Chain A
């Protein structure tokens, strides 16, 4: 079972570049979310989705866009990368009313 798969694992961007972080899950979970984690800090919620076609903002949504066209995929887009977006990004999924969220292994992004 693959679980939650994030790609790429590492990425270096120049300021102003755009990119998409990919997240896919094969557990048919309705709920998916994106977090970022800065050094020495806990995770902060960026965006989340309760099902295909439905997304909402979390704690720190500025600078990021998301879409949910399928149940399996929940990509995170950086339209114009900034050094402040240097972080580790985690994607998670769960059953909507479930007790356990499953996390991917993270994407380590550096913006120079």
Chain B
């Protein structure tokens, strides 16, 4: 699985959009980009995933660059409850739940 690089921490004002970047320059054509988050040492929670098209669900949007070497997770209106560590993971989709976590980005949403 390709490696990912994320900033260790970010701040965001409550109500503003949070944009979390991820670099995955060695991604292969059959590898998907996944995002999970972990709130205060709870079990990680799935957010969204995509292959090459931009994706949106009720939680977030995922923007993948055309060359697929980087992506951005967007939380459109961050709340205090979005304070968490966000993990960007790249893997082949048929690997099921085999996830290789990096260090993630610690997002602090401030009032």
Contact = CB atoms under 8 A, between A and B. Distances in A.
Interface residues of B, number: 23
Interface stretch (B14-22, B42-50, B76-84): B42-50
Contacts of A31: 96-98
A48 B104 CA distance: 22
Contacts of B94: 96-97
Highest count of chain B CB atoms <10 Å: which of A45, A97, A99, A102:
A99
Question: Which secondary structure dominates where chain B touches chain A?
Answer: loop
B96 A44 contact: no
Question: Which secondary structure dominates where chain A touches chain B?
Answer: strand
Contacts of A35: 99, 101
Nearest to A91: B43
Nearest to A108: B41
Interface residues of A, number: 33
B42 A97 contact: no
Given A42-B87, A42-B101, A42-B102, A103 B96 contact: no
A42 B8 CA distance: 11
Contact of B41 (A32, A44, A99, A106): A106
A33 B95 CA distance: 12
12 contacts: A31-B97, A32-B97, A35-B99, A37-B41, A41-B103, A42-B104, A48-B97, A90-B44, A94-B96, A97-B93, A101-B44, A103-B44
Given A99-B93, A105-B42, 8 more contacts: A31-B98, A43-B44, A44-B101, A59-B100, A92-B99, A101-B96, A103-B43, A105-B43
Interface of B: 32, 34, 36, 41-46, 49, 85, 87, 93-94, 96-104
A-B pairs, top 9 by smallest CB distance, nearest first, are: A103-B43, A31-B96, A42-B101, A94-B97, A101-B97, A100-B46, A43-B101, A96-B96, A31-B97
